[in-house]
Structure 1
Amino acid sequence: MLTPTLAARWHALTAPLLPDAAHCEAELRRLAAAYEAPERHYHTLAHIENLLDRVGAHPLQDAVVVELAAWFHDAVYNALRADNEAKSAEWALAFLQSTSLAPARCERVADLIRRTQDHTQPQPPTDADLLLFLDADLSILGAPVAAYWAYARQVRREYRLVPDLLYRPGRRKVLAKLLAAPVLFHTPSLREELDAAARRNLQAELDAWEQGGLPAE
């Protein structure tokens, strides 16, 4: 849901880059429509708000770039496609070209978005903004147990067109890959807060799928 608070955050971020308030408002409405589409259950504006809260709680080298990446990183989300991050980056660039943001910073936004495609890939160890952004995007993994199971069910609903026969092995592969990653959270404070809980949650979901499926609500 697009709350007044979230809308205000968007306008505070974009107004200095684009004085055309109507253009900023129109882009916000486009994003809100995408994130609140009926087929979405986890990748919604609630996820964006959580990500903004997470990155906003830490010092950033370029807060504007990171917050823009947060807003656009799941703008395109089709559970049956593998190019969502690339398409989301394209959407971001299309909007940012109308702003005063320098081209290098526009490309930086797009790069942050593209890197969310696979959180288990090696990342530049000194790129603090990137590492915090990726960690914040994964923070749901370390949520309290009830919140994690709600997330797992929401993701399953986003893949509702995929039968369990196909979803189960695919999801198990994703969970196992995350569990095998030597580092889930690169930012020391988030690693301390979330890593142990995330691994417990991931293992519990993997066990559930190996035993037949998610537990009932």
Structure 2
Amino acid sequence: MTPRERRLREQGQRRQLILSSAREMAEAEGWDFVTTRRLAERIEYSQPVLYQHFKNKDAIVHAVALEGFGELAGALHAARARHADGDPLEALDAVARAYLAFAAKGPVLYQAMLTLDPGVAAAPEDGHVAPRPVLDALAEIRLAVEPVADGRDPELLTEVLWSTWHGLATLTWGRRLRPDLTEERLAALTGILTGPAARLG
């Protein structure tokens, strides 16, 4: 290994340590308590070293959010792949369940992804392209939607499902919805979007 390769590897390890530590701190105390000073103390690096990797806390949250979207894409892909040769509605249901399970398992990570860093999930406009992990997660939803779109715009249906799943995840985490009815809500949503009434007009 050359000195340059070793230096790049060490930089990558430090960067990942910063992100992992930030997630751990946020999970324990919430994002409001994650500061660059406290984070530097936790990982036993000086703040200047931390700033070599991230300009500020927002940049750390942004990087954590991208990690989260990558993990979400993986979870959605695994759920969809398990039903690749089966009923498309079952595949869509599995993806929906995987999405809500991901949000419920890591609400602090989910908050970073879709509340604290809105720029990551912003829709492309004026030539702006969303980061690859975000596009990958949306692609998994779309791939589950396309077989049941029945001639309708799959991209529009993907946006409707994503926004609805996000609402369900957020309201459930905030204890505004009864958690024991999650499956019934998902079934009702799928029925609304794919049932006979949805095809009228």
TM exceeding 0.5 = no
When the two structures are superposed, what TM-score results if normalisation uses the length of structure 2? 0.41
When the two structures are superposed, what TM-score results if normalisation uses the length of structure 1? 0.38
Larger Rg: 2
